[in-house]
Structure 1
Amino acid sequence: MKIIISGSSGFVGQNLIQSLSSDTTAVSNISLRKKDWHVYIPASADAIIHLAGKAHDTSNTSSSDEYFDVNRDLTIELFKKFLRSDIRDFFYFSSVKAVADTVDGVLAEDAQPQPLTPYGKSKLEAEQFLLSQTLPLGKRLFIMRPCMIHGPGNKGNLNLLYKVVDKNIPWPLSAFHNQRSFLSIDNLSYIIYKMLTDQSVPSGVYNVADDESLSTNDLVSLIAATLGKKEHLWHISPGFIKSMVKIGDILPLPLNSERLKKLTESYVVSNQKIKTALGVEKLPLSAKEGLIKTILSFKIPK
């Protein structure tokens, strides 16, 4: 196989290059930052995996135009190039945030999209354009909506939680009750490989998540158990916490309203559609197994 990846310098891209490369599969990267990126797209290949995009800025310092220029307009340009080529598959990495910023119950692919942020709106508008186009015979379009992806080398809220537990700092948000879906990079790599090699998987929109969801309190307990430490869960009034984090919206503190939302909201995502398409009952790693692998990677000295 011949695979082209945009955004290959990121966490997901680096892992996909490693997992997909083999004696029979050549993986190359393209940088869409170059003005002449068009000339680097080959006339034929098995797939383009489009990862490049502007991530959600939790500090809210980015302009709306930046999201639409990159996440929508650049995707449209690349897809038009794909349509004119002999490349078979196009993977667009969107996000569950293209559908909903908060979830009541379980998020499935048929939910009515109502994104609230420029990030989510730009991803959705890219999706809508792609889905409006007529695919030539033999081509496939996959719109991937992953939830929070993690794995060795990943940074973000998992790393923040790790540091809190590792330093024996009490977790002050245990009064918030939630359930969240996660996605290990190993499960994502498995899914992408199966889709590439199984021609029976139909074009469409696919949520991507691990099989089980966990609460943030479960995650804190899992980190503590993995590190051989005692968990410290503090039950502080959610109302008091919400009033205090407003200071973090003004000053550069570790906790602001956006981060509090990410750490305490419920966001459960169904992965049944993609498992049915692949003909699998379970993904290779359970949610806990994947998280333990990520947690252990934080212990390795940099």
Structure 2
Amino acid sequence: MTKVLVTGAAGFLGSHVVKELCRSGYEVRALLHGTGHCDTQFLPEVERVAADICDPKKIHKIAHGCEAVVHLAAKVHAIDDPSEDEDYQSINVEGTKRILDAAVSAGAKHLVFASSVKVFGEETSGCVDESQVPEPKTPYGRSKWRAEQLISEYAGRHGLIAVSLRLPMVYGPTKKGNLYRMIEAIDHGRFPTLPRLPAVRSLLHVENFVQAVSLCLRAHGFKRPAYIVADSEPYCVSDIYNWLRAGLGKTPPRWRVPLWMLKSGAQCGDVLQVISGRPVPLTTEQLTKLVGCAWYSSTTITHELGYHASYSFQKAVPELIAFYRNVAARAAETAHQTPTS
């Protein structure tokens, strides 16, 4: 039975990958960041190992006995994160190098790395595929591109069957990320009623990502060092807003905020954020993520590895809303049980 090391196993992606690997008959060693995550709910057969991927003394031993590695641990990008290049460098680049060294030392044959479409920049002028030359614009994007280059280098030098998967925003039942905040804001009437926007954005359901990882672990080789993985079609943000609004049981809006007004509000937000030094609900960067184009094609991995996105955003809305309602209900119950002073 193949044993797989999964880094970042306690995270949103990692927990879903671990669950699927166990279901598929793999032995799994889950690498957790510190002992605080050791109570993460896994099946009993999952082996838990606590270590920091930046700790060279511990990380060298974690891959022993593993034939494959799924490397998901990373410092992720956030809009209001002031981190500089060196912060992403130490985790996303140097940490990846330590994982690669551990994998090679253990004699692992397969390695799957979770990269990002941010290696191409922040926006696209149309649909981007693997023929596009990476040109990252942010510290996060640059760190992912450097890590990809390390993966390719080690694959060539040590014979690893290794690949990087370039992911857009991944969604599913989680509180982390902008989508949960968007659902919450719509539910409480704090999200602007968006106009019809022409730009589209690619997203990836977490179960589609899990499918791509499984395909890569079974592959005997790859024709290229990296693949884009996304849902079958890109989505208009206006449609996402409408689907979520309907899922929350709200009627269609009678009036929509014009784009020029959103841009003016975002510019005011920029100024307010600089003056206050605190995050504000709407800035130019945040608005760009709503109205800008970020369209990526997963045609190549479909043709070469047989990937097929089984999940779509519209069909996932009931699951997303149910998760949101459940979290809100638990929070309300906890608040009700907490005694006041």
Q: TM-score, length-normalised on structure 1?
A: 0.90
Indicate yes or no: 2:27 matched with 1:26.
yes
**Greater shift in the superposed pair: 25-34 or 170-179:** 170-179
Answer yes or no: is the 8 Å Cα contact 1:16–1:189 preserved in 2: yes
Indicate yes or no: 2:291 matched with 1:264.
yes
Please give the secondary structure, in 2, of the residue aligned with 1:3: strand
Distance 1:267 1:291 in 2: 21
Q: Give the gaps of 5 or more residues in structure 2.
A: 32-50, 331-341
Matched with 1:109 is 130
Note the C-alpha offset of 1:189. 1.0
Answer yes or no: is the 8 Å Cα contact 2:170–2:205 preserved in 1: yes
- After superposition, the C-alpha distances for 1:106-162 in whole angstroms (9 at most, x for unaligned) are 12112111111111111111212322342444x311111111001112422211221
- From 265, 268, 277, the equivalent of 1:244 is 268
Distance 2:304 2:196 in 1: 39
Answer yes or no: is the 8 Å Cα contact 2:9–2:30 preserved in 1: yes
Sequence identity percentage: 24
Please give the secondary structure, in 2, of the residue aligned with 1:28: strand
- After superposition, the C-alpha distances for 1:10-69 in whole angstroms (9 at most, x for unaligned) are 111112112221372121122325452234323342311111111113114212211111
Indicate yes or no: 2:229 matched with 1:216.
no
- From 290, 293, 298, the equivalent of 2:319 is 293
Answer yes or no: is the 8 Å Cα contact 1:149–1:183 preserved in 2: yes
Matched with 2:208 is 187
Note the C-alpha offset of 1:289. 1.7
Answer yes or no: is the 8 Å Cα contact 1:220–1:231 preserved in 2: no
Distance 2:111 2:131 in 1: 21
Matched with 1:234 is 256
Note the C-alpha offset of 1:171. 2.1
Note the C-alpha offset of 1:3. 0.9
Return closer, same or farther for 1:23/1:213 CA change in 2, 3 Å cut-off.
closer
Distance 1:299 1:155 in 2: 15
- From 143, 149, 157, the equivalent of 2:178 is 157
Note the C-alpha offset of 1:176. 4.6
Note the C-alpha offset of 1:184. 0.5
Indicate yes or no: 2:217 matched with 1:199.
no
- From 56, 64, 80, the equivalent of 1:43 is 64
Matched with 1:8 is 9
CA RMSD after TM alignment? 2.2
Indicate yes or no: 2:99 matched with 1:73.
no
Show structure 1 runs of 4+ deviating over 4 A: 200-203
**2:257 maps to amino acid:** H
**Greater shift in the superposed pair: 171-180 or 156-165:** 171-180
Distance 1:175 1:239 in 2: 15
Distance 1:83 1:291 in 2: 42
Matched with 2:36 is none
Distance 1:234 1:69 in 2: 44
Look at both structures and tell me which one has the larger radius of gyration over its CA atoms: 2
Note the C-alpha offset of 1:255. 2.1
Return closer, same or farther for 1:85/1:135 CA change in 2, 3 Å cut-off.
farther
Distance 1:266 1:136 in 2: 38
Please give the secondary structure, in 2, of the residue aligned with 1:183: strand
Note the C-alpha offset of 1:292. 4.0
**1:234 maps to amino acid:** R
Please give the secondary structure, in 1, of the residue aligned with 2:325: coil
Matched with 1:279 is 306
Distance 1:248 1:269 in 2: 33
Distance 2:249 2:305 in 1: 37
- From 248, 254, 268, the equivalent of 2:281 is 254
Q: Give the gaps of 5 or more residues in structure 1.
A: none
Note the C-alpha offset of 1:202. 4.8
Please give the secondary structure, in 2, of the residue aligned with 1:21: helix
Structure with a larger share of its residues in helix: 2
Equivalent pairs, count: 300
Return closer, same or farther for 1:28/1:48 CA change in 2, 3 Å cut-off.
same
